[in-house]
Every structure is written in structure tokens, then in C-alpha cells.
Amino acid sequence: MPRSIVAGIGMYVPKNVYTNQDLTRYMETSDEWIQERTGIQARHYADRLGETTATMGIEAAKIAIERAGITPQEIDFIIFATLSPDYYFPGCGVIVQREMKMKEIGALDIRNQCSGFLYAISVADQFIKSGMYKNILVIGSEKHSFGLDFTTRGRNISVIFGDGAGAVVLQPTAEEGRGILSTHLHSDGESAEILAMYNPGTHGNRWGHFADFNDAEIGEAFMSEAMIEKAQNFPNMNGPAVFKKAVVKFPEVIMEGLQANGLQTSDINMLIVHQANLRISQMIQKLLRLSDDKVYNNIQRYGNTTAASVPIALCEAWQEGKIKKGDLVCLAAFGSGFTWASALIRW
């Protein structure tokens, strides 16, 4: 069975940079609070008009495809991970297919939020191992800025997230030992609502999370005026609860990957975890006893870009020469769902 290698990788971040100080124009917050709690100094926001989750994904994809030495017409399958699609439906994959003038290939959208990219490369890996496809384009992209509450009410969430995209082309390799060694996927829906955007949705309060709404307001529409008035059109997060679960599940799923391959933490050459919070990344690094040169973080400059965060960090680390052929690269993610995942790649 062939293994999958990353044949090409690319990233794109919009040009508009918003520092923590810039955010103080819209809400009560401070550079000190944001840096101390999250490590974030700045994030990029897409142009409000014209730049979308799909267009950013396409920019990253163009670079990944060129670096793989192929053309868009040679891509056999698209997997697009995002929580902020251009449309509620259809997904962004078909927009990529159309805009990049690809053949009438399959296009799959993945909705696994922060672990979306890891789920996406796991799915792609299975298609490659089975021999079904040879060139799979995997994109993680987010335009968070369109849907955050930039008032003080939403400050615990809005300061964290940023926009951007990353992409890889996965191909089979005949080279012994190289490629994706294994992927490990998990979920626990018990806490589905503590990091979620409820609307627009079909829930009809079935899960009982709208105590302050009456049935008429909830049944009124997919997204009613009452919901907008009560800020139910924005993401909702219990930050401390997410933090506590993340610092347990990240090391667990990394160790699962290492054990499945008979490897140890000391074998890791580069660890890239989903950029949720610098404090979370630092706790994982400490637990795994990894030196600074074996961990790559860029949340300071981009914030949390959800499905895009792992491919953006992977791309930057590779561009900076921090990942070389033969290195053991460990990717891991945790987020809304909860879902979490890891992947080990012999580069």
C-alpha cells in the first residue's frame, strides 16, 4: 500500500493586519490582557468584500499545486475544511473546482472546525492508500472576521480568531519509510455546545440551550430577529472549559500516534499543534519535554485560524527550513465538537 506524502504546500493570509491595540477601538480590552492569556499580538482580516474563505483557499492552493509540480487540471479530488464557508450550502470545494477550472472531480467539505485539516488529510490519506486518487488537494481556510462580535460582549472570542488559508497536495510515494505514518481521529459530543455557533441551525431548541427564548421566537425562523438581538448569531465559547480539555487531549492523541508507530517523543523533529492559544502549546511542549527548536508556533502573528492554522504553521516551518526530508513531523489539533486528532508524517 503506498503512503501519502506532502508533495506541495502553500499558504495565504490577507494583507490587513489588526494588532491588539487596534481592537481596543471596538471593545474594552488591552494588548496586555490578550498577550498574557493567549500570546496573540496580531491577526489578519480578509477584505470585507471580494475576499472569501474560498478565494483565500484558492490562493494557498495555487502555491501548493505549483510546488507539487502539477497543474490544477491534474488534481483528482478536493477536500475543503472550514467552519466559515462562503455559503451555508454548497460548500467551498465546488467553488475551488469552478474557479481553478479543474475537471469534474469530486469535492468534499469537512466541518470539523479546529481539527478539520487533520480530519481532511486523514480522509485524503485513505483515498491515496487505497489507490483511488493520486493528487488530492486539501485546503483549510477561514474568514472569521465576517462573523465575530466586535463589541465588548464578544471580546472573549473575537480577540482570538484570525483569517487565512493553508493547502497541501498529497500524492502517493514509492519511497520506503516516507509519508503519513498514521492518523488518529476522535470526538466527544458531550460538550458540543460549549464551543459552538448555534444559528443558523435546525435545532429548534431540541437540545435546550435557549432558556431565554420562547418557542415562538425559536420556531419563527432559521435565524430570527430575536436571535440576532440576543447575539445568537455569533460563536459561543466557554474558554476555561475548552482550555482544560485541550491540555489533556492534545498530549493523549500525540502519544497515541507515537505508540502506534513504536516511536517516542524524543523521535519528534517538529511538533505543530493547532494554534489555539500559546499557553496551550507551551503546556503541551513542556509535558512532552520538547526543546524550542522542535515546536513551531505562529499564533502571535495570526491568532487562531481554526482549520487553516495547522497548514499555515506547517507551511511556514517548511519555508523557514525547519522541516527537512526524513524528519518526523507530528501534527495535532483539538477544537469544537469536541473533536481532536493527530498525524505523524515522515517528511
Active site residue 330: no
Task: Fill in the per-residue mask, 258 to 297: x = in contact with ligand COA (CB under 6 A), - = not in contact.
Answer: ------------------xx--------------------
Nearer of residues 80 and 250 to ligand COA, judged by Cβ = 250
Measured CA to CA, the distance from residue 42 to residue 280 in angstroms comes to: 18
Q: Which of 171, 304, 339, 342 contacts ligand COA by CB under 6 A? A: 304
Contacts of 236 (CB under 8 A, 6+ apart): 157, 193, 194, 195, 196, 197, 198
Q: Which of 16, 24, 35, 156 contacts ligand COA by CB under 6 A? A: 156
Please say whether the beta carbons of 44 and 162 come within 8 A: yes
Position of cell 503512503? 3
Nearer of residues 279 and 322 to ligand COA, judged by Cβ = 279
Q: Interface with ligand COA includes 145 (CB under 6 A)? A: no
Q: Interface with ligand COA includes 240 (CB under 6 A)? A: yes
DSSP states along 98-139: HHTT--S-EEEEE--GGGHHHHHHHHHHHHHHHTS-S-EEEE
Q: Interface with ligand COA includes 191 (CB under 6 A)? A: no
Using alpha carbons only, give the angle 129, 58, 330 rounded to the nearest 5 degrees: 45
Within residues 46-85, the interface with ligand COA by CB under 6 A covers: none
- Candidates 7-15, 29-37, 64-72, 320-328: pick the segment binding ligand COA (CB under 6 A): 29-37
SS3 call for 14: coil
Please say whether the beta carbons of 38 and 278 come within 8 A: yes
- Candidates 26-34, 103-111, 122-130, 163-171: pick the segment binding ligand COA (CB under 6 A): 26-34
Closest approach, Cβ 101 to ligand COA, in A, equals 34
Active site residue 114: yes
Nearer of residues 81 and 242 to ligand COA, judged by Cβ = 242
Cell of 46: 480578509
Q: Interface with ligand COA includes 37 (CB under 6 A)? A: yes
Closest approach, Cβ 306 to ligand COA, in A, equals 7
The backbone torsions φ and ψ at residue 121, rounded to the nearest 5 degrees and listed phi first, read -70, -25
Q: Interface with ligand COA includes 242 (CB under 6 A)? A: yes
Measured CA to CA, the distance from residue 128 to residue 130 in angstroms comes to: 5
Number of residues that bind ligand COA (CB under 6 A): 18
Please say whether the beta carbons of 345 and 6 come within 8 A: yes
Active site residue 304: yes
Catalytic residue of the set 92, 114, 315, 330? 114
Cell of 49: 468584500
Which residue has the CB atom at the shortest distance from ligand COA?
239
Strands of the sheet containing 136-142, edge to edge, are 3-12, 164-173, 136-142, 77-81, 106-110
Active site residues: 114, 274, 304
Residues in the site for ligand COA, rule: CB under 6 A?
29, 33-34, 37-38, 114, 155-156, 159, 195, 239-240, 242-243, 276-277, 304, 335
